[in-house]
Copies of this chain bind each other. A is one copy, B any other.
Protein backbone atom coordinates (compact mmCIF):
# COMPACT_ATOMS: atom_id res chain seq x y z
CA UNK A 1 0.00 0.00 0.00
CA UNK A 2 2.52 2.60 -1.20
CA UNK A 3 1.40 6.18 -0.67
CA UNK A 4 2.43 8.32 -3.63
CA UNK A 5 2.98 12.04 -4.06
CA UNK A 6 -0.50 11.95 -5.57
CA UNK A 7 -1.81 10.69 -2.26
CA UNK A 8 -0.17 13.56 -0.46
CA UNK A 9 -1.29 16.15 -2.96
CA UNK A 10 -4.84 15.17 -2.05
CA UNK A 11 -4.30 16.62 1.43
CA UNK A 12 -6.29 19.73 2.28
CA UNK A 13 -3.07 21.77 2.26
CA UNK A 14 -3.04 24.52 -0.31
CA UNK A 15 0.71 24.05 -0.80
CA UNK A 16 2.45 20.69 -1.18
CA UNK A 17 6.02 19.53 -0.61
CA UNK A 18 6.30 19.28 -4.40
CA UNK A 19 5.59 23.00 -4.79
CA UNK A 20 8.28 23.79 -2.24
CA UNK A 21 10.78 21.51 -3.99
CA UNK A 22 10.02 23.19 -7.31
CA UNK A 23 10.52 26.74 -5.98
CA UNK A 24 13.61 25.75 -3.97
CA UNK A 25 15.07 23.95 -6.99
CA UNK A 26 15.72 20.81 -4.95
CA UNK A 27 14.33 17.29 -5.05
CA UNK A 28 11.12 16.57 -3.19
CA UNK A 29 12.91 14.09 -0.97
CA UNK A 30 15.15 16.96 0.16
CA UNK A 31 12.03 18.79 1.33
CA UNK A 32 10.87 15.76 3.27
CA UNK A 33 14.36 15.35 4.75
CA UNK A 34 14.23 18.91 6.03
CA UNK A 35 10.83 18.50 7.69
CA UNK A 36 10.81 14.92 8.84
CA UNK A 37 13.02 14.28 11.85
CA UNK A 38 16.01 12.01 11.85
CA UNK A 39 16.99 12.70 8.24
CA UNK A 40 20.27 14.33 7.16
CA UNK A 41 20.40 17.29 4.78
CA UNK A 42 23.01 19.95 3.98
CA UNK A 43 22.61 23.40 5.50
CA UNK A 44 22.55 24.91 2.03
CA UNK A 45 19.64 22.72 0.95
CA UNK A 46 17.87 23.28 4.25
CA UNK A 47 18.13 27.03 3.78
CA UNK A 48 16.77 26.84 0.21
CA UNK A 49 13.85 24.71 1.38
CA UNK A 50 12.97 26.85 4.38
CA UNK A 51 13.08 30.03 2.31
CA UNK A 52 10.79 28.55 -0.33
CA UNK A 53 8.51 27.06 2.32
CA UNK A 54 8.19 30.41 4.05
CA UNK A 55 7.40 32.14 0.77
CA UNK A 56 4.72 29.58 -0.08
CA UNK A 57 3.49 29.29 3.50
CA UNK A 58 4.02 25.52 3.29
CA UNK A 59 2.74 23.39 6.14
CA UNK A 60 4.18 19.89 6.66
CA UNK A 61 1.44 17.36 7.36
CA UNK A 62 1.69 15.74 10.80
CA UNK A 63 0.37 12.42 9.52
CA UNK A 64 2.86 12.15 6.69
CA UNK A 65 5.53 13.06 9.23
CA UNK A 66 4.32 10.38 11.63
CA UNK A 67 4.34 7.68 8.98
CA UNK A 68 7.90 8.49 7.98
CA UNK A 69 9.33 9.07 11.46
CA UNK A 70 7.08 6.53 13.19
CA UNK A 71 6.44 9.19 15.82
CA UNK A 72 3.41 11.28 16.63
CA UNK A 73 3.19 14.40 18.74
CA UNK A 74 -0.04 13.28 20.37
CA UNK A 75 -0.45 12.45 24.06
CA UNK A 76 -3.60 10.55 24.99
CA UNK A 77 -5.15 11.83 28.23
CA UNK A 78 -7.82 9.61 29.77
CA UNK A 79 -10.25 11.18 32.27
CA UNK A 80 -13.54 10.22 33.85
CA UNK A 81 -14.74 12.89 36.26
CA UNK A 82 -15.10 16.46 35.07
CA UNK A 83 -17.66 17.41 37.74
CA UNK A 84 -14.81 17.45 40.26
CA UNK A 85 -12.95 20.72 39.44
CA UNK A 86 -9.66 19.00 40.31
CA UNK A 87 -9.59 17.17 36.97
CA UNK A 88 -10.32 20.03 34.57
CA UNK A 89 -7.44 21.80 36.35
CA UNK A 90 -5.23 18.77 35.73
CA UNK A 91 -6.26 18.68 32.05
CA UNK A 92 -5.43 22.36 31.67
CA UNK A 93 -2.00 22.02 33.24
CA UNK A 94 -1.08 18.96 31.17
CA UNK A 95 -2.17 20.69 27.97
CA UNK A 96 -0.06 23.75 28.77
CA UNK A 97 2.96 21.64 29.79
CA UNK A 98 2.90 19.35 26.72
CA UNK A 99 2.34 22.29 24.39
CA UNK A 100 5.74 23.67 25.38
CA UNK A 101 7.29 20.57 23.79
CA UNK A 102 5.10 20.59 20.70
CA UNK A 103 2.76 17.86 21.92
CA UNK A 104 -1.02 18.01 21.64
CA UNK A 105 -3.55 16.29 23.88
CA UNK A 106 -6.09 13.79 22.58
CA UNK A 107 -8.83 13.89 25.22
CA UNK A 108 -10.41 10.54 26.03
CA UNK A 109 -13.45 10.60 28.30
CA UNK A 110 -14.35 7.29 29.89
CA UNK A 111 -17.77 6.75 31.46
CA UNK A 112 -16.82 3.67 33.45
CA UNK A 113 -14.27 3.35 36.23
CA UNK A 114 -12.43 1.03 33.88
CA UNK A 115 -11.21 2.27 30.53
CA UNK A 116 -13.30 0.87 27.67
CA UNK A 117 -11.63 -1.18 24.96
CA UNK A 118 -12.73 1.25 22.22
CA UNK A 119 -10.84 4.02 24.01
CA UNK A 120 -7.71 1.88 24.06
CA UNK A 121 -8.22 1.11 20.36
CA UNK A 122 -8.38 4.83 19.65
CA UNK A 123 -5.11 5.48 21.48
CA UNK A 124 -3.38 2.63 19.65
CA UNK A 125 -4.84 3.51 16.24
CA UNK A 126 -3.48 7.04 16.59
CA UNK A 127 -0.13 5.62 17.62
CA UNK A 128 0.00 8.14 20.47
CA UNK A 129 3.46 9.05 21.75
CA UNK A 130 2.36 8.57 25.35
CA UNK A 131 -0.64 8.14 27.61
CA UNK A 132 -1.74 9.75 30.88
CA UNK A 133 -4.51 8.03 32.78
CA UNK A 134 -6.09 10.05 35.58
CA UNK A 135 -9.20 8.91 37.48
CA UNK A 136 -9.70 5.57 35.76
CA UNK A 137 -8.40 2.04 36.07
CA UNK A 138 -7.16 -0.43 33.49
CA UNK A 139 -7.02 -4.19 33.32
CA UNK A 140 -3.62 -5.85 33.23
CA UNK A 141 -4.38 -7.24 29.75
CA UNK A 142 -5.18 -3.77 28.39
CA UNK A 143 -2.18 -2.18 30.05
CA UNK A 144 0.09 -4.77 28.45
CA UNK A 145 -1.11 -3.70 25.00
CA UNK A 146 0.65 -0.38 25.53
CA UNK A 147 3.85 -2.11 26.62
CA UNK A 148 3.78 -4.32 23.54
CA UNK A 149 3.56 -1.18 21.43
CA UNK A 150 6.27 0.54 23.49
CA UNK A 151 3.91 3.40 24.32
CA UNK A 152 4.86 4.97 27.68
CA UNK A 153 1.97 5.24 30.12
CA UNK A 154 1.54 7.06 33.43
CA UNK A 155 -1.17 6.59 36.00
CA UNK A 156 -1.72 10.09 37.37
CA UNK A 157 -3.21 10.34 40.89
CA UNK A 158 -3.85 6.59 40.76
CA UNK A 159 -1.80 3.52 41.72
CA UNK A 160 -2.59 0.05 40.43
CA UNK A 161 -1.73 -3.07 42.42
CA UNK A 162 0.20 -5.77 40.63
CA UNK A 163 0.57 -3.65 37.53
CA UNK A 164 4.09 -2.83 36.64
CA UNK A 165 3.67 0.80 35.50
CA UNK A 166 4.86 4.30 36.28
CA UNK A 167 2.49 6.23 38.54
CA UNK A 168 2.59 9.75 39.95
CA UNK A 169 0.58 10.52 43.06
CA UNK A 170 0.59 12.79 46.03
CA UNK A 171 1.84 10.89 49.11
CA UNK A 172 -1.65 9.95 50.32
CA UNK A 173 -0.47 7.83 53.26
CA UNK A 174 1.64 10.58 54.82
CA UNK A 175 -1.07 13.13 54.05
CA UNK A 176 -3.85 11.21 55.81
CA UNK A 177 -1.63 10.37 58.80
CA UNK A 178 -0.85 14.06 59.11
CA UNK A 179 -4.56 14.92 58.90
CA UNK A 180 -5.37 12.44 61.71
CA UNK A 181 -2.62 13.87 63.95
CA UNK A 182 -3.82 17.38 63.17
CA UNK A 183 -7.44 16.64 64.12
CA UNK A 184 -6.29 14.89 67.32
CA UNK A 185 -4.27 17.97 68.20
CA UNK A 186 -7.47 20.00 67.75
CA UNK A 187 -9.11 17.88 70.43
CA UNK A 188 -11.30 15.67 68.26
CA UNK A 189 -12.20 12.37 69.96
CA UNK A 190 -14.69 10.67 67.62
CA UNK A 191 -13.72 10.32 63.96
CA UNK A 192 -15.42 9.60 60.65
CA UNK A 193 -13.77 8.90 57.30
CA UNK A 194 -15.91 9.28 54.17
CA UNK A 195 -14.39 7.27 51.35
CA UNK A 196 -14.37 7.97 47.61
CA UNK A 197 -14.98 5.27 45.02
CA UNK A 198 -14.14 2.02 46.82
CA UNK A 199 -11.60 0.80 44.26
CA UNK A 200 -9.70 4.08 43.89
CA UNK A 201 -6.17 3.83 45.29
CA UNK A 202 -6.38 7.43 46.51
CA UNK A 203 -9.38 6.65 48.71
CA UNK A 204 -7.88 3.39 50.03
CA UNK A 205 -4.58 5.02 50.98
CA UNK A 206 -6.20 8.06 52.56
CA UNK A 207 -8.31 5.70 54.66
CA UNK A 208 -5.32 3.55 55.56
CA UNK A 209 -3.14 6.40 56.84
CA UNK A 210 -6.01 8.03 58.70
CA UNK A 211 -7.36 4.88 60.42
CA UNK A 212 -3.83 3.62 61.20
CA UNK A 213 -3.12 6.60 63.48
CA UNK A 214 -6.57 6.57 65.10
CA UNK A 215 -6.59 2.84 65.83
CA UNK A 216 -3.09 3.17 67.24
CA UNK A 217 -4.40 5.86 69.62
CA UNK A 218 -7.53 3.80 70.39
CA UNK A 219 -9.93 6.62 69.52
CA UNK A 220 -13.45 6.08 68.17
CA UNK A 221 -13.35 5.71 64.39
CA UNK A 222 -15.79 4.61 61.72
CA UNK A 223 -15.96 4.79 57.94
CA UNK A 224 -18.72 5.50 55.44
CA UNK A 225 -18.55 4.53 51.78
CA UNK A 226 -19.19 7.27 49.26
CA UNK A 227 -18.19 8.16 45.70
CA UNK A 228 -16.12 11.38 45.43
CA UNK A 229 -19.21 13.44 44.47
CA UNK A 230 -20.90 16.40 46.17
CA UNK A 231 -24.15 14.45 46.45
CA UNK A 232 -22.26 11.50 47.92
CA UNK A 233 -20.90 13.71 50.71
CA UNK A 234 -24.24 15.41 51.24
CA UNK A 235 -26.18 12.13 51.50
CA UNK A 236 -23.56 10.53 53.77
CA UNK A 237 -23.68 13.48 56.18
CA UNK A 238 -27.48 13.21 56.36
CA UNK A 239 -27.13 9.51 57.08
CA UNK A 240 -24.67 10.24 59.93
CA UNK A 241 -27.04 12.88 61.34
CA UNK A 242 -29.97 10.42 61.18
CA UNK A 243 -27.94 7.89 63.20
CA UNK A 244 -27.75 10.43 66.05
CA UNK A 245 -24.12 9.55 66.82
CA UNK A 246 -22.24 12.64 65.70
CA UNK A 247 -18.47 12.50 65.40
CA UNK A 248 -16.29 15.45 66.44
CA UNK A 249 -14.32 15.33 63.18
CA UNK A 250 -14.96 14.21 59.61
CA UNK A 251 -12.28 13.61 57.00
CA UNK A 252 -13.81 13.48 53.51
CA UNK A 253 -11.58 11.86 50.88
CA UNK A 254 -11.90 14.87 48.58
CA UNK A 255 -12.99 18.52 48.75
CA UNK A 256 -16.14 18.21 46.70
CA UNK A 257 -17.54 15.60 49.13
CA UNK A 258 -16.53 17.83 52.05
CA UNK A 259 -18.64 20.65 50.58
CA UNK A 260 -21.65 18.33 50.49
CA UNK A 261 -20.98 17.36 54.10
CA UNK A 262 -20.73 21.00 55.22
CA UNK A 263 -23.96 21.98 53.43
CA UNK A 264 -25.87 19.05 54.96
CA UNK A 265 -24.57 19.86 58.47
CA UNK A 266 -25.48 23.54 58.12
CA UNK A 267 -28.99 22.65 56.96
CA UNK A 268 -29.29 20.83 60.28
CA UNK A 269 -28.09 23.86 62.28
CA UNK A 270 -24.78 22.21 63.11
CA UNK A 271 -21.88 24.66 63.50
CA UNK A 272 -18.52 24.15 61.79
CA UNK A 273 -16.02 23.90 63.46
CA UNK A 274 -17.77 24.41 66.84
CA UNK A 275 -19.91 21.24 66.64
CA UNK A 276 -17.52 19.32 64.42
CA UNK A 277 -14.44 19.83 62.28
CA UNK A 278 -14.22 19.03 58.59
CA UNK A 279 -11.12 18.30 56.48
CA UNK A 280 -11.12 17.64 52.75
CA UNK A 281 -8.47 16.71 50.18
CA UNK A 282 -7.18 18.36 46.94
CA UNK A 283 -7.41 22.08 47.76
CA UNK A 284 -9.44 22.94 44.68
CA UNK A 285 -10.10 26.65 44.21
CA UNK A 286 -13.56 26.42 45.82
CA UNK A 287 -12.06 25.29 49.13
CA UNK A 288 -10.92 28.89 49.65
CA UNK A 289 -14.35 30.38 48.92
CA UNK A 290 -15.83 32.22 51.94
CA UNK A 291 -18.83 29.91 52.06
CA UNK A 292 -16.61 26.87 52.68
CA UNK A 293 -13.20 27.99 53.98
CA UNK A 294 -12.30 24.31 54.05
CA UNK A 295 -9.16 22.96 55.72
CA UNK A 296 -7.73 20.54 53.20
CA UNK A 297 -4.62 18.84 51.83
CA UNK A 298 -3.09 20.59 48.85
CA UNK A 299 -2.12 18.22 46.07
CA UNK A 300 1.12 19.42 44.44
CA UNK A 301 -0.42 19.43 40.93
CA UNK A 302 2.41 21.40 39.29
CA UNK A 303 5.08 18.99 40.56
CA UNK A 304 2.92 15.98 39.74
CA UNK A 305 2.34 17.21 36.18
CA UNK A 306 6.00 18.15 35.74
CA UNK A 307 7.15 14.71 36.92
CA UNK A 308 4.71 12.99 34.58
CA UNK A 309 5.73 15.08 31.56
CA UNK A 310 9.46 14.57 32.23
CA UNK A 311 9.00 10.79 32.43
CA UNK A 312 6.94 10.62 29.24
CA UNK A 313 9.32 12.79 27.22
CA UNK A 314 12.27 10.65 28.30
CA UNK A 315 10.43 7.43 27.45
CA UNK A 316 9.34 8.85 24.10
CA UNK A 317 12.99 9.64 23.41
CA UNK A 318 14.30 6.24 24.51
CA UNK A 319 11.74 3.68 25.63
CA UNK A 320 12.83 1.77 28.73
CA UNK A 321 9.44 0.79 30.20
CA UNK A 322 10.66 2.01 33.59
CA UNK A 323 8.03 1.29 36.25
CA UNK A 324 7.99 3.25 39.50
CA UNK A 325 5.44 4.61 41.97
CA UNK A 326 6.41 8.24 42.49
CA UNK A 327 4.84 9.95 45.48
CA UNK A 328 5.11 13.70 46.00
CA UNK A 329 4.50 15.36 49.35
CA UNK A 330 1.60 17.80 49.65
CA UNK A 331 0.84 20.26 52.43
CA UNK A 332 -2.03 20.95 54.86
CA UNK A 333 -3.94 24.16 54.17
CA UNK A 334 -5.59 25.29 57.38
CA UNK A 335 -8.88 27.21 57.12
CA UNK A 336 -12.00 27.91 59.19
CA UNK A 337 -13.59 24.45 58.91
CA UNK A 338 -11.29 23.22 61.71
Contact = CB atoms under 8 A, between A and B. Distances in A.
A63 B107 contact: no
A63 B11 CA distance: 12
B126 A62 contact: yes
Given A67-B64, A125-B61, A150 B104 contact: no
A248 to B, nearest CB: 23
B109 A107 contact: no
A127 B12 contact: yes
A105 B64 CA distance: 20
Copies assembled:
2
A294 B122 CA distance: 40
A285 B83 contact: yes
Interface centre among A11, A88, A264 (most CB of B within 10 A): A88
Interface in A90-131: 91-92, 95-96, 99, 104-109, 111, 118, 121-122, 124-127
A230 B92 contact: no
Contacts of A24: none
Contacts of A95: 107-109
Given A92-B109, A109-B92, A125 B60 contact: yes
